[in-house]
Every structure is written in structure tokens, then in C-alpha cells.
Amino acid sequence: MRTVHRAVELRAIIQQWRAAGEAIAFVPTMGDLHAGHLALIAEARRHAARVVISIFVNPLQFNDAADFAAYPRSLERDVAVLAASGGDLLFAPDAREIYPHGMETGTRIEVPVLAQELCGAFRPGHFTGVATVVAILFNLVRPDIAIFGEKDYQQLLIVRRMSEDLRLDVDVRGMPTVREADGLAMSSRNRYLSAEERGRAPVIYRTLEILRARLLASEENYAALEAWGMAALFAAGLRPEYVAVRRAQDLQAPNPADRQLRLLVAAWLGSARLIDNLAVDC
Ligand code: PAF
């Protein structure tokens, strides 16, 4: 699998593929690849003759400079992992390539309302950074389809909305979260957990499962369910930011007539901020 670092190289290859009539699938990542990313690439492979992966730790989506500095970077290891992944091309730009006129003064993409909820309320500017970099990457790669993990469910909805609003003509697909055997959602941030914290982390998934069972048993007091979930996570020594029952399609507060719900959690465990979510089809 070939690696390019410059947009001009990427464009030249994409143009050749397009000229040959080949469809392109795209998997954007921030690297530190794990089985969850490989599942996205395998799904991309099913949809297109060509699969492009990007690795770019996007400074614009970090609202905390220390978090950006500490984010795991392992390009050499990632390239080795990708060799057997089924991908065709890795695009691994640096910040000047993505933000040639500087990040601070460059154009930004806002997705109002959806981006202010949940994680957006706790990480100001985060989703502006995500929407902006994904729009830039979509413009460079010009994919027919792009695959995102449902672990970042709010991100998935925001990217889909951004792509629709800007008429980018990219089919934005979500893939189910890949989990460890004990239910913990795979994430690059799991490596911040100590062994003892790692042992406690699956309480997030267990809490979501209990809440899902209660919703399926027709409990409709969403505020009480959210409060119970917060208490369960505090009791396990986590510091939850939110436990939320929302409408799946737009993450707004549901009412009992809504059948497609999403349960979402963000919680700190030690120095790791973990997120997870579950679909609930009542
Ligand atoms: O989910 C991620 O890894 C990032 O937010 C993304 C979509 C690659 C944008 O930087």
C-alpha cells in the first residue's frame, strides 16, 4: 500500500482512478489504528474498487493543547498495520498541507445545534474542527462513500449533515462499534487507562445495556434513567459528563412516541475521556 504526504500527490492518484472509472471509498482516521479501524477499512473495501485511508491528528478539533500533545502518534506502526488491511492508499499529511494558510485564520465549518449538544457542550469547538477537517479531506479525496465508526455517533451525524448541506455528494455510512471481549468500546484513548482502570472501564457498556433493557421494558421517565446512569458511573469511580437518552436521528430530547432512540455516555476514568453509545429500537 502506497503512502503519500502531499495533497498534490493524492490528487494525481485519485485522478487516475477516476479516469479509469473506479469508485473510491474513504476512511478518515487520526491513526493509532486498532481493530475498529480495520473493520471500517474492510467495510470500505466492500463498496469500492479503491480504498483511501487518511491519518491526521487534527489540531483544530482539540480544545485542550495538552490532549493534542499527548494523543498517540505511531505512523510507522500504522503503516505496517495497513499493509495487510485491504487499503490502497494512505494519505498522511502534516498540518501545513491541510491548513496551508494557517489554522487560526482558515475557513471553518459549523453545524449548529447538533454540534452544541452532548460532547459539543463539554468540548467547545471540537465539532467545528471535525466538520472542517472532514470537509477538507472529502474535497481532496472526492470519495463516493466514507465510513465512520458509530462509537463517535454524534460525529457521524454531524459529518453526514455537513456533507448533505454542502452537497458534497458523499455517502456517509456508520459502522457498529467494535468492542473488546468485556464490552469496552475500542478506542485509541483506552491506552491512557491503568490496568486497574481498564478493569473498571466496562461498567460503561454494562450501564448502557441496563438502560437499554429498561427502555425496552417501556420505562419512559428519561430524566430518571439518565440520573440512574450517572449515579451508577459515579459509584464505579468514574466522572461522567453525561448519560443521555436522545432521539437517534437528531440527538434531540425524545418523547414516548419516538421509537428510534440512542443512549449516549461520556465519562472520565483517570486521565481517559471515554465515550460510548447504544441504539435502542423500541
Ligand atoms: O474520528 C476521528 O478519528 C476523527 O475525528 C476524524 C473523523 C478522523 C476527523 O479528524
Q: What is the pLDDT of residues 169-226, one digit of tens each?
A: 999 999 999 999 999 999 999 999 999 999 999 999 999 999 999 999 999 999 999 9
Instruction: Provide the pLDDT for residue 75.
Output: 97
- Per residue in 5-50, pLDDT (tens digit) is 999 999 999 999 999 999 999 999 999 999 999 999 999 999 999 9
Atom of ligand 1 nearest to the CA of 54: 8
Whether 210 is in a domain gets the answer yes
Instruction: Provide the pLDDT for residue 167.
Output: 98
Atom of ligand 1 nearest to the CA of 29: 8
Domain span including residue 195? 188-281
Whether 257 is in a domain gets the answer yes
For residue 272 and ligand 1, the question of a CB distance below 6 A is answered with no
Instruction: Provide the pLDDT for residue 39.
Output: 98
- Distance of CA 98 from the midpoint of ligand 1 (Å): 14
Instruction: Indicate whether 199 and 162 sit together in one domain.
Output: no
Whether 181 is in a domain gets the answer no
For residue 130 and ligand 1, the question of a CB distance below 6 A is answered with yes
- Per residue in 67-109, pLDDT (tens digit) is 999 999 999 999 999 999 999 999 999 999 999 999 999 999 9
Q: How far is CA 238 from CA 113, 143, 186, 224, 263, in A?
A: 28, 39, 18, 19, 18
101 assigned to active site: no
For residue 30 and ligand 1, the question of a CB distance below 6 A is answered with yes
Instruction: Provide the pLDDT for residue 131.
Output: 98
Instruction: Indicate whether 222 and 105 sit together in one domain.
Output: no
Q: Which of 143, 175, 207 is the endpoint of a domain?
A: 175
Q: What's the helix, strand, coil split of the chain in %, to 5? A: 45, 20, 35
Is 154 in contact with 117 (CB distance < 8 Å)? yes
- Per residue in 144-160, pLDDT (tens digit) is 999 999 999 999 999 99
| Of 5, 34, 37, 101, catalytic | 37
Is 197 in contact with 269 (CB distance < 8 Å)? yes
Is 218 in contact with 212 (CB distance < 8 Å)? no
Residue 125 pLDDT grade (very low, low, confident, very high; cuts 50, 70, 90): very high
Is 265 in contact with 208 (CB distance < 8 Å)? yes
Whether 144 is in a domain gets the answer yes
Instruction: Indicate whether 25 and 148 sit together in one domain.
Output: yes
Instruction: Indicate whether 96 and 219 sit together in one domain.
Output: no
Instruction: Indicate whether 25 and 150 sit together in one domain.
Output: yes
CATH number of the domain that residue 263 is part of: 3.30.1300.10
Instruction: Indicate whether 104 and 161 sit together in one domain.
Output: yes
Domain count, the chain: 2
Is 120 in contact with 76 (CB distance < 8 Å)? no
For residue 61 and ligand 1, the question of a CB distance below 6 A is answered with yes
Is 143 in contact with 26 (CB distance < 8 Å)? yes
Atom of ligand 1 nearest to the CA of 28: 8
Average pLDDT over residues 54-59: 98
Q: Distance between CA 120 and CA 131 in Å, rounded?
A: 12
Whether 272 is in a domain gets the answer yes
CATH number of the domain that residue 62 is part of: 3.40.50.620
Is 90 in contact with 3 (CB distance < 8 Å)? yes
Instruction: Indicate whether 198 and 140 sit together in one domain.
Output: no
**pTM for this model (two decimals):** 0.98
Instruction: Indicate whether 153 and 226 sit together in one domain.
Output: no
Q: Which of 175, 198, 221 is the endpoint of a domain?
A: 175
Whether 163 is in a domain gets the answer yes
Whether 60 is in a domain gets the answer yes
Instruction: Indicate whether 126 and 252 sit together in one domain.
Output: no
Is 176 in contact with 150 (CB distance < 8 Å)? yes
Q: Which of 137, 152, 175 is the endpoint of a domain?
A: 175
Instruction: Indicate whether 138 and 238 sit together in one domain.
Output: no
Nearest CA to ligand 1 atom 5: 130
For residue 28 and ligand 1, the question of a CB distance below 6 A is answered with yes
Instruction: Indicate whether 30 and 52 sit together in one domain.
Output: yes
Whether 183 is in a domain gets the answer no
**Most distant pair of Cα atoms in the chain: their distance:** 58
Instruction: Indicate whether 81 and 119 sit together in one domain.
Output: yes
Average pLDDT over residues 57-69: 97
Instruction: Provide the pLDDT for residue 90.
Output: 98
CA angle 4, 6, 10 (to 5 degrees): 65
